[in-house]
Amino acid sequence: MTVIGILSDTHDILRPAVLDQLKGCDKILHAGDLTSESLLDTLGQLGDIYAVLGNNDRQLTGRLQKVLRFEIQGIRFAMAHEKRNIPGDLRDVDVVIFGHTHKYFQEKIGQRLWLNPGSCGRRRFSLELTMAKLYIENGKYYVQKIDIPAEL
């Protein structure tokens, strides 16, 4: 089984509860707004990382792209920080990941999963702090929403 930690909008905050959830993950997907190279480097030390450029990632402009397409264990992904930047042609995509709103969203539309893991960094308004884990086994996947305690 492949375990993937999915997060977004950390805004240079890496909570201990998030680190605990990422331990043992085979891959880490970050849907933008890391805001620092050091956070990207820290996540990269935990495992293979796929990350996209968020609207607050000025320091990472040369390192990250706005949109990524990739495949993990036969599951095809498209990822961007803002939903509006997701490519129009998604015929070859199983899972779409985006961030920016700081609000968790998970919906299967047709055969495609749309997932926003929310924010597990800086709290925005009264929104909950969340991330997700995606488990892949034998070409099938399922998602687990993870609630993160607000305290640092």
For the segment 83-118, what is each residue's pLDDT rounded down to a tens digit?
999 999 999 999 999 999 999 999 999 899 999 999
Tell me what the pLDDT averaged over the chain comes to: 94
Residue 144 has φ and ψ, to the nearest 5°, of -120, 125
Hey, what domains does the chain have and what are their CATH numbers?
Answer: 2-147 (3.60.21.10)
Give the torsion sign (CA, 105, 26, 44, 60). Answer: negative
Least confident of 6-10, 56-60, 113-117, 148-152: 148-152
CB 57 within 8 A of CB 35: yes
Question: Cα separation of 36 and 91, whole Å?
Answer: 33
Query: Does residue 151 carry a pLDDT above 80?
Result: no
Instruction: State the pLDDT at residue 125.
Output: 75
